[in-house]
Structure 1
């Protein structure tokens, strides 16, 4: 007989969600029918192997290339996926929250199964360290853009202008670094350019209470037009003065950079990547452990209540939007000085919108947005690597991968997400 203190009514217990068991089941089915089934149909399926490479640059200690039996490895990983789906089903039936480690195990198992299948029987190797290093590099502007979105939208301002802030930051970094032949000056100019776009967004959204989505789209178009005009008229005519390559130097962290696989990925980077680490950690702490974060979340959730306790709602929204623009502008520097490239027309290439998707997928949390942005960066670089080793999947489909993930993320793959209650709503005292 159930205890009187334990609720038994389904409405009191809450609705059972089978989202994760279904997702894991689909991944297991893809691995079973797609990966295992494909290799079983080959005459030499059991004899094929996949070779992995971990060496990356000069290191004191490196792991030599190693090969694994493709079909057996995929079968084991598929069994892990099936077991995870069953475990997720049991957890869902008991109305408990699925532990985070299950997501990590499923993600690693599916990616390794896919890589093993893609490289089965190939003479080329799969460069694990290069794959991860490239994924981190491609994630840098996404992470900065997602952090910008978190700052602005937690304050109640919808920042659709991340794309323009990234592009203007890239433009300013390239021009200033080229003119002064100093990439670090370009790194200083980038957040200033992004802050300028953020200031325009704040001005129209707070002062004139214009629809924030419309303002963001207009600012993206404005920045695109301005940078394209100056690129065609000024930068193209005198590239050596205004648009020369000025790469940031690589900074190696002693000892840590020599760790196999992880070292070159995390600790052999430019200062921009180290600033990204600091920005995520600092924002996570400040947003949930400081008075600034408490007030920022207050004006984004219930501005009238915040106003009654003396918080200047609109002033905080303005300054936070400018700060968010500066963070996005710093991310834009990756496209030029961060990558050692000259500025190119439309070089942000939609990364601002993917950063918005990462922010939503991360549920307006810096850590969640970081993980989502890394997922997008990994999917983008995965397409590049597999195209170079001759993957059986058409390269066009691989290039579509990050955008497909974006669609699924925005469509609610991560479950119900709730934006800050006062997001996009002008406040009048």
Structure 2
């Protein structure tokens, strides 16, 4: 029972970064933009939040965790949103290839995170010496009283606020896309921007807003990993495949934020399954790590054969829109 409880808690811990990234990418792709820069934006969001907390805690004699939380949270949103704006400027305004821009943004974001992570390490006294424990404690604070309930408290109420925020954001985005007029407009932009434009919808505005908001949400996945999962520390290249798993989850979730909630938990479970499976060799461990991608491919094949419109990606996904061709 103890092992199972630990496994579920660790799986949830692994899933939150992936859920933030997938939710951000879903709203981005609903506008027709394919942002493969999400892994890099998660790096940028994580290091931006850590830097804000680090310099705040160095600047004051007695840092307050809540203030560090606010500063790091704001820094993450701003830097991540700027990454989304850059992507939009290059792809929507300048009509650059979305795949090239996205992959370049990921490369830049990882380098950005590792460079500043290394720089802060030197200021902190050496590699691995970064610590913003006061701010991290605010992020990791669990729900009082309820978290003390045996089993149930540990399973449902022993996480920091970003864990619950990730689910709330996914629910809000899901409702926005399916039950609001602006959500319908956004989906129409992703399906057929020329028709949406002819109907009076500002295609460029919707693409910019959706991609910028999506990038900001994805950046919170990086902040979660640094502050809540790692406890306010930084490790170069520590994010691993989480950013790419977030993009894969978009397909598994069939572009639906509600599906992304349970899908992220599935991916989080598969991501650590090899640790709890006895008797694996190093080679078989690598096979276990492939499971999330294998499942995504299977889902993609099945949904493409069924040809249900609601389970397909937006029709204009990854394509530039030229208004003069309308």
Work out whether residues 186 and 337 of structure 1, in 8 Å CA contact, stay in contact via their aligned partners in 2. Answer: no
User: Which of 289, 303, 307 is residue 415 of structure 1 equivalent to?
Assistant: 303
Deviation sequence 1:26-56 (CA, Å, 0-9, x none): xxxxxxxxxxxxxxxxxxxxxxxxxx32xxx
The count of residues paired between Structure 1 and Structure 2 equals 300
Which segments of structure 1 move beyond 4 Å, counting only runs of 4 or more? none
Q: How big is the shift at 1:228?
A: 2.6
Instruction: Report matched runs for 1:239-254 at 5 Å.
Output: 239=124, 243-246=130-133, 247-249=136-138, 250-253=140-143
Distance 1:208 1:330, change over 3 A: same
Aligned equivalent of 2:96: 210
Residues in 1 aligned to 2:247 and 2:24: alpha-carbon distance in whole angstroms: 9
Aligned equivalent of 1:428: 322
Work out whether residues 76 and 223 of structure 2, in 8 Å CA contact, stay in contact via their aligned partners in 1. Answer: yes
User: Which of 55, 62, 73 is residue 179 of structure 1 equivalent to?
Assistant: 55
Residues in 2 aligned to 1:130 and 1:413: alpha-carbon distance in whole angstroms: 34
Q: How big is the shift at 1:136?
A: 0.5
TM-score when normalising by structure 2: 0.85
Q: How big is the shift at 1:336?
A: 1.2
Greater share of helix residues, 1 or 2?
A: 2
Q: How big is the shift at 1:258?
A: 4.7
Aligned equivalent of 1:116: none
Aligned equivalent of 1:309: 199
Deviation sequence 1:349-368 (CA, Å, 0-9, x none): 12111111111011101012
Aligned equivalent of 1:332: 222
Question: Is there any run of 5+ residues in structure 1 with no aligned partner, and where?
Answer: 1-51, 54-126
Work out whether residues 168 and 329 of structure 1, in 8 Å CA contact, stay in contact via their aligned partners in 2. Answer: yes
Q: Which has the larger radius of gyration?
A: 1
Q: How big is the shift at 1:393?
A: 2.5
Whether 1:238 and 2:123 are equivalent positions in the alignment is yes
TM-score when normalising by structure 1: 0.66
Instruction: Report matched runs for 1:181-200 at 5 Å.
Output: 181=57, 182-200=68-86
Distance 1:257 1:231, change over 3 A: closer
Residues in 2 aligned to 1:396 and 1:256: alpha-carbon distance in whole angstroms: 42
Question: Is there any run of 5+ residues in structure 2 with no aligned partner, and where?
Answer: 58-67, 305-310
Work out whether residues 174 and 337 of structure 1, in 8 Å CA contact, stay in contact via their aligned partners in 2. Answer: yes
User: Which of 19, 22, 45 is residue 146 of structure 1 equivalent to?
Assistant: 22
RMSD: 2.1
